[in-house]
Amino acid sequence: METGSELRFGSKLFLIFYTSLFLNVFFLSYSFLSSRSEIGWSQTAAAEAEAVAAISCSGHGRAFLDGLLIDGKPSCECNTCYQPPDCSQLSLDCAADADSGNPLFLEPYWQEHAASSAVVVAGWHRMSYTTTGKNFISLELERHIRMLHLMVGNAVADDRFIVFGSGSTQLLYALIHALSQGQNSSGPASVVASIPYYPPYRMQTDLFDSKLAEWKGVTSSWANESSSIGSMKDFIEFVTSPNNPDGLLKHSVLSGSSSIYDRAYYWPHFTAIPAPADEDVMIFTTSKLSGHASSRFGWALIKDKDVYMRTVDYIQLNTMGVSRDTQLRILKLFKVILGELGGESDIFAFGHKTMSERWSKLNQVVSRSKRFSLQTIPPQYCKYFKTISDPSPAYGWLKCEMEEDGECSAVLRAAGIIGREGSMFEADDRHVRLSLLKTQDDFDQLLQKMEALISNYESIMDI
């Protein structure tokens, strides 16, 4: 039987043990947390990035680490029509530039996610040609791409091979090369697209002037022959869905042809997602997903192994893969996107709200006059948002309806609006593509110029 003194001794022993255990855990945790809070070699880089990001440029521009230095300090790069040095002055006689597809409408989103999307790259980061996967690709990035398609529901990525490219632009001809090599034909493959189509399809095919493929114009010229599958086996058809420039969902026209589906805009901020895309060859690009056009990153989902291997061979010989630094940055961005899906900071909810509001405002202005019209895009059920989704296209495909306005781009230029001529897309020049993708400043200027143009015209007609 234990005595009272023995019990007291045992209690003290337990107290000492648990006190010691607590102190060990406390000091270990303190040491770990302290070491994490101390910034080492990245401190200078982080400070430089923070300092440049703090330059406001009056809210109408931005400064960059690699921008021009004026008096030893980073200078502001101003939005269209705003003047340096601080972007505070607006040039009233400046034209609204709605020509390019610069996806700067997503810049505010990433400014709100500055901390979670930041990447510090060590000087010794991946100096080797190789990375974690074969064919110069990051396996972790590949995994996140598959996860992204699964979560968004815009494409079937399971049982597909993935090839990385320097933007979707590099992949366009890589896939022409791969598909044309697989055809048992004595002559070159015929590359075609439906009007209006994205100009680089034609321009790249003509530029490379290969023995394997040649540009053969528009699908409508060959549609009558498509009833015979054998006659179309040597054709490669580009299908852009949603289409650039008109934002409509498209399908292959020529039966029996090989098809390259350009799905750059098949994301919920540009279109309703009625079902996952499930074509044999599909192209995607970060520029229209996250807005990071300058990173030059795209990927293709390919069903057939032989087509995949020929595409890989082209990329390896052409550039030995995509920059490993780019792959690191894109991986970080995709982690942020995946982490916010379905939440208050969902990039697709942000993007769709912005684009649908811009489309609605432009439509309201254009509808006031019979002189102009825009493409019709009906609301559609979107499986991602689980509701009827209002139109939110990347571009307005404007048409001049008056007989005397045969060159629509000239009508707009006279009113201080720069668009892209319809002939660039092999459409007639009564059409002009107006980009809705750029900064809020760019869109506001476009809207103001369109309002003035239509108001002036209606005033003249009322006299």
Query: Residue 445: inside a domain, yes or no?
Result: yes
Q: What tokens appear for 117 in the block?
A: 């999307």
Q: Tell me the residue type at 238.
A: F
- Residue written as token pair 């668009």: 419
pLDDT value at position 461?
Answer: 66
Are both 254 and 402 inside the same structural domain? Answer: no
**Segments in the chain below pLDDT 70:** 1-37, 226-230, 458-463
Query: Residue 6: inside a domain, yes or no?
Result: no
pLDDT value at position 183?
Answer: 74
Task: Residue 353: give the domain boundaries.
Answer: 96-107+346-462
Q: Which residues contact 382 (CB under 8 A, 6 or more apart)?
A: 268, 272, 273, 274, 388, 389
Helix (H) or strand (E) holding 453: helix 440-462
Nearest to 189 by CA among 167, 164, 214, 162: 214
Q: Of the residues 292, 325, 340, which one is the last residue of a structural domain?
A: 340
Q: Of the residues 292, 323, 340, which one is the last residue of a structural domain?
A: 340
Distance CA(265)–CA(436), nearest Å, equals: 13
Q: What's the CATH number where 224 sits?
A: 3.40.640.10
Are both 191 and 325 inside the same structural domain? Answer: yes
Are both 315 and 352 inside the same structural domain? Answer: no
Are both 271 and 197 inside the same structural domain? Answer: yes
Distance CA(155)–CA(261), nearest Å, equals: 11
Q: For the purposes of burial, counting CB atoms within 10 Å of the CB of 71, is it exposed (0-12), middle (13-18) or buried (19 or more)?
A: exposed
pLDDT value at position 186?
Answer: 75
C-alpha angle 321/322/328, rounded to 5°?
130
Q: What's the CATH number where 84 sits?
A: 2.10.25.30
Give the number of domains in the chain: 3
pLDDT value at position 144?
Answer: 99
Q: Of the residues 94, 125, 159, which one is the last residue of a structural domain?
A: 94
Are both 66 and 155 inside the same structural domain? Answer: no
Query: Residue 447: inside a domain, yes or no?
Result: yes
Nearest to 433 by CA among 150, 194, 135, 100: 100
Are both 187 and 328 inside the same structural domain? Answer: yes
Are both 88 and 147 inside the same structural domain? Answer: no
pLDDT value at position 225?
Answer: 72
Are both 77 and 142 inside the same structural domain? Answer: no
Query: What does the pLDDT look like over 53-108, one tens digit per residue?
Result: 999 999 999 999 999 999 999 999 999 999 999 999 999 899 999 999 999 999 99
Nearest to 271 by CA among 171, 151, 395, 361: 395
Helix (H) or strand (E) holding 162: strand 161-165
Q: Do you know the residue count of the chain?
A: 463
* Beta bridge pairs of residue 238: 193, 260
Query: Residue 113: inside a domain, yes or no?
Result: no
Query: Residue 411: inside a domain, yes or no?
Result: yes
Q: For residue 106, what is the DSSP state? A: G
Are both 290 and 363 inside the same structural domain? Answer: no
Distance CA(236)–CA(84), nearest Å, equals: 48
Cis, peptide link before residue 85, omega less than 30° from 0: yes
